[in-house]
Amino acid sequence: MITLRQIRSFVAVFEERSFTKAAEREGATQSGISQHVSTIEKHLDVPLFHRTSRNLTPTPAGKRYYQNSIEILSQLEAAEVDAKSSANALSGKLTAGVIPALAHRVLSPALIRFINDQPEIEIRIIESYSGMLTDMVRAGDLDFAIIPAFEGGAGINVRRLVRDQELFVASSNSAHPNLQPIKLGSAGPLKIILPSSEVNVRRQSLDTYFNVVGAKIERILEMDGMMGTLDIIARSEWVSIVPSILMAKDFGSNQFSIRPVVDPPLHAELVIIQPSRKSLTAQAGIFVDYLRAEAESVIQYWQDSIGMTA
C-alpha cells in the first residue's frame, strides 16, 4: 500500500529534480526520500525517474504518476479546507508573498481590511521579487504569491489576478509631459532603470518589447528596489517602466511625469501562484479577493486619470 508520505516524497523529488533538495523541503533524510520513491517504483513495477550521476529526469510513467499524485494531494487539502471552514469563525495561519509593486499601494488597504475582518487568523507577508517568491511557493513555504505572469512549471498552479498597464516614469523636471502617451520607439536615447533578469520575470517581457519597437537605450541601470528606483528618477534624468498600481497616488504629484506607453500598449499581467499539491484555504481565498478588489480599484483610478486628460 502506497502512503501519503511516500506520495509527498515522490512529488518533492519530481518538482525539485533532486533527492537532496526534496529531503530538505520535506524535513527528511535523503535516504528516506529515496526509499519512499523506490517503494513506489517497486509497487508499480515501473521506473519513475531516469537516474544518472548528474541528472534526475522523470520517465513518461513518472510524469503521469506526478499529475495523478498532485490531484490526490490537492483533493485531500481541499477536504481539509472545507472541514475547517465549516466553523463560524476562521482561524489558523496564512503566509502570502507579494511583489514590491503591490506592496507599495495595494497591499496595505487590503491587509488592514483582512486583519479587521479576520481577527483570529495569524498572517505573515513576504515582500520580494518573483524569482524568490516562486521558489518559496514551490517549496510550500507560501500559501500563495502574487507575481507578474510567467509560464509556470512543475509544482506551480497559475491563474490570473488582474491586467495592469505599464507606465513610463520620468522626473517632473524632465521634458516629458505628464499623462501624455509615449511611443518608446521614437523616444530616447534613454537612461533606463530596469529590474534584474535573475529575480524578476518582468525583465524578459520588457527586453522583448524594447527590441520589437526599436527603443533607443543609451544606458541600463539594474536595480531591484522600487523605492530606490523612484527616488533616483525624481532626482535625475534616469527613467523607468513600472506598473500603474505602483504609481496610483503619484499621478498628480510634483515629483514625476507619468506617461502611458502606446503603439503598442505595454501591459503587465499579475497572477496568483500556489503549490500544485495544495488548494487555497478559505482565509487565503478571502485575502486574494481583497487584493484583487484593491488592485482593480487602483487600475481604474489610473484609467479615470487618463480619461480626464482626453
Please tell me the CATH code under which domain 4-84 is placed. 1.10.10.10
Query: In the CATH hierarchy, which top-level class contains the domain 90-161+269-297?
Result: alpha beta
**Same fold across 90-161+269-297 and 162-268:** yes
Residue type, 124: R
Which pLDDT score, from 0 to 100, does residue 81 have? 62
Domain boundaries, the chain: 4-84, 90-161+269-297, 162-268
Q: Has residue 21 got a pLDDT over 90?
A: no
Residue type, 69: S
pTM for the structure as a whole: 0.69
Residue 125 CB coordination number (10 Å): 14
Strand partners, 221: 193
What would be the CATH architecture of the domain defined by 162-268? 3-Layer(aba) Sandwich (3.40)
pLDDT tens, position by position, 237-289: 999 998 888 886 666 667 899 999 998 988 888 999 998 878 788 889 999 99
Distance CA 252, CA 254 (A): 7
pLDDT tens, position by position, 215-238: 999 999 999 888 889 899 999 999
